[in-house]
Structure 1
Amino acid sequence: MVTEYTRPVEGETATHEIEIKRSRFITWIARATSEEEARAVIHAAREEFPDARHHCSAFIVHVDDAQPIERSSDDGEPSGTAGKPMLEVLKGSGMYDIVAVVIRYFGGIKLGTGGLVSAYTNAVSEALPAVQTATRAMREQVTVDLPHAEAGRIEAELRNAGVDVVDVAYGAAATYTLAFVPGQRERIDDLLAAATQGRAETKTLGPRWVEL
């Protein structure tokens, strides 16, 4: 079971372009947390470049407690020369929730099977360094109410101790949602006890995904 992985940041599309024997290969790489989101990115590429010869694609979407969804399309290129090589590059990146589209404008010179595999492999490989990434991790979460006057100091102590503060709500008290690696609950309780002279009480939310 995957409990931590990297993925593209939300709302950002990395782009890259290469030219091989007069054919243009334009690559888009973006986040997709479902098959529907991945297909929406592919559709957007078709709308952006409606006159291109091919819109080849590949995506990998994480699924809790199951194998990831992996799909690829050659979109008219000879079978196995575009989508599959693109998918292999994505798999090699170690990222999930990722979709790549390579838009090809045909330049009049055929590349052959090997040339196409190389072109689509390189189109995605060269675009990957431009992808901004985030880490998604399964973390234990608790909430704790802290006095407003002391909340800033206690938050700083928690962050310095490696505790992730994923949310703060302000009411009669400052309610902090804390996330930490499973198995660290006792350490968290000890940190809070030391910071609040034993006054803080945590409430368990259980394991949840957070983006770090």
Structure 2
Amino acid sequence: MNAYDIPAESLSISEEIIKKSRFITLLAHTDGVEAARAFVQQIKSEHPAARHHCWAWVAGSPDDSQQLGFSDDGEPSGTAGKPMLAQLMGSDIGEITAVVVRYYGGIQLGTGGLVKAYGGGVQQGLKQLARQQKVPMRSFRLSCDYAQLADIERMIKRFEGKLVDSEFLDVVSISLALPYAQIAGFTQNLSDFSRGALQLLPIKQ
């Protein structure tokens, strides 16, 4: 699992009037499908008078096809949710949900006009969106002697990991997290350092 961009802010809002219809585009950081669904419901409750609440999400990493979703919410099929999702996928941003709220102005836009309005709204919102990088990590436990602790802490830092917790009993019990790309290197280094005596134990998530 490689690093990928996510929204750096919890919510970004942009707005446009097209042929008297008001389109409000909202982009949010949503980690997982449940968070994405909750955000869509939140926007629906905040805009109960709107005609449509169309949405799309990339709820996990950009290459995780299991966490994609979209809805036209009453607009003609293929004119809203799909062009919105296409913009999200083209941005290579993960953990993001887009909702476009439409207050109908009485003038029909046609199929092409709707695709442009919904896809264009998300496109403009993405241009304004601040990003930050997320490095996926896996959690482990490791037990070591007190004399080994300082070297292991340096090793964790060298392999861009995080020391989450330490418990000091007869031995030191460490909780740590490592970037997926660094696990193999850390494991080999740990084996060399301890002559095979120390082992990483994955924590089920």
When normalised by structure 1's length, the TM-score is 0.72
Q: What are structure 2's unaligned runs of at least 5 residues? A: none
Q: Tell me the amino acid that sits aligned with residue 38 of structure 2.
A: A
Take 1:157 and 1:182, find their aligned partners in 2: how far apart are those partners? 12
Give 1 or 2: higher helix fraction: 2
Q: Give runs of aligned pairs for residues 2-81 of structure 1, distance below 5 A.
A: 3-6=1-4, 8=6, 12-30=10-28, 31-34=30-33, 36-62=34-60, 67-81=65-79
Question: Matches of residues 125-204 of structure 1 in structure 2 within 5 Å?
Answer: 125-128=123-126, 129-137=128-136, 139=138, 141=140, 143-145=142-144, 147=146, 151=150, 155=153, 158-159=156-157, 161-172=158-169, 173=172, 175-180=174-179, 181-184=182-185, 185-189=187-191, 193=193, 202-204=198-200
SS at match of 2:183: coil
More strand by share: 1
Using the TM superposition, give the Cα deviation of residue 68 of structure 1 relative to its aligned residue in structure 2, in angstroms.
1.6
The whole-number CA distance in structure 1 between the counterparts of 2:145 and 2:7 is: 31
Number of aligned positions between the proteins:
196
Counterpart AA for 2:117? A
How far apart are 1:52 and its partner, in Å? 1.2
For residue 84 of structure 1, report the CA deviation from its aligned partner: 0.7
Cα deviation for residue 203 of structure 1 reads 3.2
Match of 1:68, SS?
helix
Q: TM-score, normalised by structure 2?
A: 0.74
2: distance between equivalents of 1:164 and 1:176?
A: 11
RMSD across aligned C-alpha pairs, in angstroms? 3.6
Measured after TM superposition, the shift of residue 86 of structure 1 is 0.4
